[in-house]
Structure 1
Amino acid sequence: MKRTLLALVFACAPLLAHAGCEDNVAKWVQQLQPGRALDENRTAVCKVWPANTALTIAALPLSRPGNTDIQGTDDLEVLVADTATGAVVAHRYEKAALQFDAVAIRELVIDTAPYQLTPQQRAFGIRVDYDNMSRASPYEAKALSLYVMQGSTLSKVLGGLNVKESGGEWDENCAGTLHETVRTIAIGPADKSGYAALKVTSKTNTTVSALKAGNCVDHTKTAKPSIATLQYRDGHYEVPKTMRYSN
């Protein structure tokens, strides 16, 4: 199978991307999780699936008891619905899927890049963007999970791949060090499972800044890219610990 490089930052959309989606969000919550409420501080998202516009994808963060604005845990409903009627076609409930404390959840993003895992099976992504909002010790991460439809359920075939991570320390004036790792996914050939391998390329830059003669000077070093191959086994792709987002 010819490899297709996937830009993980495209094919994403903001909250409530099509007419009627806003009304359906409340209906979906009450249908799937009666009595539960959306987390008002973490926005629900939905988007028509470009690969099949008859379907709409949504991710609904559900608040749990004891949460505050800056600390807590949310459950997550991921669903696929009929675009015309709003009827839920398939869904997956993930308990305690979203955790926020020193690192906050900035947003949820629906990723509809062409993750064609088999000739018949295309996945979609839900990405969680994190940020610690610190100036002196900045940190941010983007964790991607992939889902496929299997009847009336959704299966998570990839969980928490850190597609972007950056962080460092600086004096809030000039001096400091910042590292950034960006990962992209290419679809490789299928193996005996029938599912394509995922080729994950990691590129890391490290920037050291220092004050010299009154000027802030940056020196950036780029490490040699590394490539990891993720194979489909036992219903999912195993993400190496070094590439997985951890709260």
Structure 2
Amino acid sequence: MSEKLPKASAIKALSVEYTGLVQEPLEGFQVKLAREENMFEWDIVIFGPPETLYQGGYFKAKMRFPQDYPFSPPTLKFTTKLWHPNIYDNGDVCISILHPPVDDPPSGELPCERWNPTQTVRTILLSVVSLLNEPNTFSPANVDASVMYRRWKESQGANKEYEEIIKRQVAMSREQAAKDGVDVPQTLEDYTRASRIQRERGQSQAESSDFYEDLIGDDDDDTDMETSVTNATSDNS
């Protein structure tokens, strides 16, 4: 079997997911390719959900996919500074769903809690938003943030050290949003409106893109696809 076949299969799977997210975007998220015709690296924007500490936030991240996706998980790294128990100082997200499904008793994670090929970018992003609001403090990536979060939680908000850091980071992220020319949703109505606007724009973009239509072909077209995606995959060989 050609070594390019798994890569072509991954591109096909990713193109289906990408087109789906463009046509029917998740509320509070934006996705786009980091580089044209490279399906293996996506730029992600997560808007802070209303009525949370992160309300009004504009958090940018990179998602990178392996050549054998969806059999192996992608990685997700925030490029916006974010103080959180499950995010390393370098921005890498530590969450069970992004860990390979191996037996690792010391981690405290069951294989069923880890990645499996039925997971998608949608489930990853929803899991990350859930993690922002409800951190896992049992095996933290940032111990100091974990301790601070527990103090805030146990004091029912009286200890505001954690809250104040998050609010400062939200304010800084909004400055970046202004530089990027992005209107950050503040209310629940704005939160859903942004997604509807993106959906309208995304449908137009997807309909005009021959690249994605070519990739979502019949399974019998894998051989021809190897030639058509050589340029798109050369950076990931």
More strand by share: 1
**The two structures share one fold, judged by TM-score above 0.5:** no
TM range, smaller chain = under 0.3
More helix by share: 2
Length-normalised TM-score, structure 2: 0.27
Length-normalised TM-score, structure 1: 0.26
Which protein has greater RCO, CA pairs closer than 8 Å, 6+ apart? 2
